[in-house]
Amino acid sequence: MKRTAIVVGSLVLLGLGLSQVSPFRARLEAALHAGGHEFARVMLSQDKGQALCSQHRDKLPADLIPGFLAEQKALIKYPANGKLMGDWKNGEKVFTDPKRGNCYACHAGVASEVAYGTMGPSLTNYGQRGTSEAVVRYTYEKIYNAWAFVPCSLMYRGGVHGLFTPEETADLVAFLLDPESPINRR
Partner 1 sequence: MPLWVLRAVAVFVLLGLGLAQGEVDPREEAKRQKQLLLETAGILPTELIVEQGKEFFNRKGPLGKTMAECDFGLGKGVLEGAAARLPRYFLDTGKVEDLDSRILTCMTRVQGFRPDQIKRQEVVAIAFYIASFSMGKPIQVRLLFPQERELYALGEKLFYARSGARDVGCATCHISYVGRRAGVLPYADVLGKDKSWTHWPAYRYSNDQIWTMQDRIRACYGNIAHPQPDLYSLPILALELFMAYQNNGAVVEEWPAFVR
Please report, as ranges, the residues that interact with partner 1 according to CB under 8 A. 1, 3-8, 10-11, 13-15, 28, 31-32, 34-36, 38-39, 41-43, 45-46, 50, 53-54, 57-58, 98-99, 102, 104-106, 114-119, 147, 152, 154, 156-157, 161-163
Q: How many CA atoms lie within 13 A of 109 on its CB side?
A: 25
> For partner 1, which is the closer residue by CB, 28 or 173?
28
> For partner 1, which is the closer residue by CB, 80 or 115?
115
At closest approach, how far in Å is the CB of 79 from partner 1? Answer: 21
> For partner 1, which is the closer residue by CB, 151 or 177?
151
Contacts 24+ apart (CB under 8 A), 68-74: 68/147, 68/151, 69/147, 69/148, 69/149, 69/151, 72/145, 72/147, 72/148, 72/151, 72/157, 72/160, 73/141, 73/145, 73/148
**Distance between CA atoms of 76 and 175, rounded to whole angstroms?**
20
**Distance between CA atoms of 155 and 171, rounded to whole angstroms?**
18
At closest approach, how far in Å is the CB of 55 from partner 1? Answer: 8
> For partner 1, which is the closer residue by CB, 40 or 135?
40
Q: How far is CA 141 from each of CA 3, 43, 57, rounded to the nearest angstrom?
A: 43, 26, 24
> For partner 1, which is the closer residue by CB, 44 or 135?
44
At closest approach, how far in Å is the CB of 64 from partner 1? Answer: 15
At closest approach, how far in Å is the CB of 21 from partner 1? Answer: 18
